[in-house]
Amino acid sequence: MNQYIISRNLSNLRKNLKVVYETKYNESMDLNNVFSELEDIDKASLIFNDTISNQSIKELQSVINHLGNQTVIVTTFNFIQINENILFEILNLIGSTRRINLFNIENGKLVVEFLSNKQIQSNMQHNEHVLKMINKEIHNQYQKPLYNEKKLMQELVRLKEDYEELYEKYLNTHQRMQYAFRELHKFKRSAWTYKRKYLQYELILSNLDRINIYKSKITKKNLKKMLKVILKKVK
């Protein structure tokens, strides 16, 4: 549905109109209230982001007819999206009552400003000359790499989603690694505790082994000799 926005600049008391023309046309929309506000508009900004229907072109004609002679019209086209024939049909439609002042093409956008009839009357020869320049410049732009803003935004959104998904995986992996390092540290501490106990028990076992070795070497004959030695030392 085409959008009509009327605003007032309280600093200079200027009244402005902004119209965004959509591909889908709403036949049920009542424009009488809009038309009643158009006579004292100072500046009308008409924005075409996509190819519009024949009904919208007729609606545009009605808007232009209701605008006063003091209105400056500025049109903005996304010439990547809009059909070229429709684009020039709109420019010719407005140019039939107003003189083209200037135009600018940048980043897939064409901006054309039409003077108010109070400033200067329409000049068909001048407008035709400017339209030829616009046509030539548009075709020059087609030779350059153009960027579709909608597709770029879609790619940016997709890239952002991919990044967030990857970052979530990184966080999960990082948290698991932190947990693994903590558990490894606990294991090392536990292992050292067990090792100390093992070393203590190993010393005891070693002493027991020595005792067993000495016990195996003791005989009745050795005992008699030991007793004789002890008795001698006692005497």
**Structure confidence by residue, pLDDT tens digits, 185-199:** 777 777 777 777 777
pTM here? 0.60
The whole-angstrom separation of Cα 117 and Cα 70 is 6
Q: How far is CA 109 from CA 75, 77, 187, 222, in A?
A: 10, 6, 66, 116
Label residue 108 left, alpha or beta by phi (over 0 means left) and psi (-120 to 50 means alpha).
left
Q: List, for residues 16-60, the tens digit of each pLDDT value.
A: 999 999 877 666 677 888 899 999 999 999 999 888 888 889 999
Same domain, 63 and 133: yes
Same domain, 9 and 114: yes
The whole-angstrom separation of Cα 79 and Cα 129 is 19
- The domain tally of the chain equals 2
Residue that finishes a domain, picked among 146, 168, 195:
146
| Helices and strands, counts by H and E, the chain | 6, 6
Same domain, 77 and 183: no
- 3-state SS class at 16: strand
Which has more confidence, 69 or 179? 69
Residue with tokens 């009839």: 117
Mean pLDDT, residues 71-79 taken together: 94
Same domain, 142 and 155: no
- Domain range holding 52? 3-146
Same domain, 116 and 52: yes
Q: With bands split at pLDDT 50, 70 and 90, how would you rate the model's confidence at 235?
A: low
Helix (H) / strand (E) containing 120: none
Same domain, 78 and 180: no
